[in-house]
Each structure stands twice: as structure tokens, then as C-alpha cells.
Amino acid sequence: MTIQRIRSKTAKTEALLASPEMADHVPETKRMSRDTVQEMLLRYGMIYVKPVTGTFGLGVIRVEWHPGKVFPYRFQSATRKYRFRSFDAMYRKLLLVKRKRSYLAQQGIELLKHNNRRFDFRVMVQRNPYSVWETTGIIGRLAHPRKIVTNYHSGGKPMSLDALIREHVNESTSLDEIKQQLDSLGVEVARTLELAFPKIQEIGIDVAIDTDLKPWILEVNTMPDPYLFRKLNDPDVFRRIYNYAVAYGRFPSRKRNRA
């Protein structure tokens, strides 16, 4: 079975924006240019710029505007931080620091924090053996203390959803409600993307939850790393993910390997 992989973040974002329901969970995203960076900074105060194609959070830069400060324009790439008096000086340096490829500018979502470190979630969604979309795993990703991205390959720490979100739930939103919301969101994202990319079999959705406990779709991967889920204490989660992947042909059957 052919498994479709879509590398372009722009193509996946446009597919999600075709659904009004999904569009409400997608941060504003535009092709990076001097005008879009300046305009979005004025509107949001903080944005992320990221490569149109790429994985593991490589090349992602956090850009901020703090009016009234001596150095109001700032950005961070990996662990390096830069400060500038003017937008023009900042943008010139940004062009030098970013990777030599096309970039997107995305509305910044202030992630929730645990021990003063940002975190988000990877939501794994797969076609089950009956070809029905199913959310098969949710895992938290706690950012490295000195980095802006949460990816495991960039130093992020995998943790359970419960451990990260429990301190942020309130009387109006319970832990179970957040789990159910992420579960449902994952399936709806898969169904929406399927309309544009009918051969996809699995997706990994990077979801941020803001201080109002609203989930935001930061990125969708069409061939996500399933082995991240081995970091959970529940081995059944990874076992189900792996078995589904075998069923739709991403991995060879263990029985065939033993033959």
C-alpha cells in the first residue's frame, strides 16, 4: 500500500483552512517576507518563523516585539538570543540566521508551561484495520530549558499528558475533557486532510494549548515518528500504534520477518 507523505507545510495548512471548523484552530500563517513579519509582529507581539519544509523543529525561530523597551525587537534561534533597536536591523539579521530556504511566518501561541518550560502535545492519528480514523496516542513534549521548540530530537522531554496538564485544569475544563477534545480534534484533522490527500494513512499533529485551554494546530506531519510513544509508561499505546502501521504497510509484519 502506498503511503502519501506531504512535506509542504503550506499545502497542509491550506487544506485545513478549507474547513471553517479546523480554521478556528489554525494560527494565522503567511509566507515570510519583510511586510508579513512586521505586520504580524504588530498584531500579535510574537510570531514563529519556520521553514516551509523540514522536521524536528530545525530552523524554527521565535520573534518578539516589546514596545517601550530599549531593544524592542528580539528573536531566538536554537539557544542564541538577539536584541535590536529597530525592525530593519532585526530583519537583516533574521535573514542571515534563518536557513537558506522558503519560510513561513506564523502567529505565536503562548504555550502553557511546566516548571517554567514550554510544552505542547503530539497527537497520533491512524487508520485502524477497518480503515477508520482513530486517535491512537497523545504524548506531551516539554521543551529543553534553553530552547523554543519542544521536539524530542531538539532536546525536548516526552511526558504524559496528565503530568503536564493537570496543574492547568480548572473548574470549567477537566482533564478528561481536554483528553477528549484532543482525541476528537485529531480525528477531525485527519478527515479534513484526507479530502485533499486521500492516500494518507497516519498523521502526527503538534498541538499547543493556550492559557484559555484552547487547542491550536501548530503543524501536521504525514509520516510521524511512532517510536516517541515508547517513552510513555503504557506499552499498549506503542503496541497499538505499531500494529496499525503494520496493517497499512508502513512497517513489515513481524511474522513475515520471522519466516
Please write the tens of the pLDDT for every residue from 40-56: 999 999 999 999 887 76
Quote the CA–CA distance of 186 and 67 in Å, as a whole number: 37
pLDDT at 259: 40
C-alpha–C-alpha distance, residues 224 and 175, integer Å: 25
| 118-153 burial: b if 16+ Cβ within 10 Å, else e | bbbbbbbbbbeeeeebbbbbbbbbbbbeebbbbbbe
The average confidence (pLDDT) of the chain is 92
DSSP-derived 3-state class of residue 155: coil
Residue 258 has pLDDT above 50, yes or no: no
**Res 190 pLDDT > 80:** yes
pLDDT tens column, 54-108: 776 789 999 999 999 999 999 999 899 999 999 999 999 999 999 888 999 999 9
Kindly list the domain boundaries of the chain, sorted by start residue: 9-26+111-252, 29-107
CATH topology of domain 9-26+111-252: D-amino Acid Aminotransferase; Chain A, domain 1 (3.30.470)
**pLDDT band of 254, cuts 50, 70, 90:** low
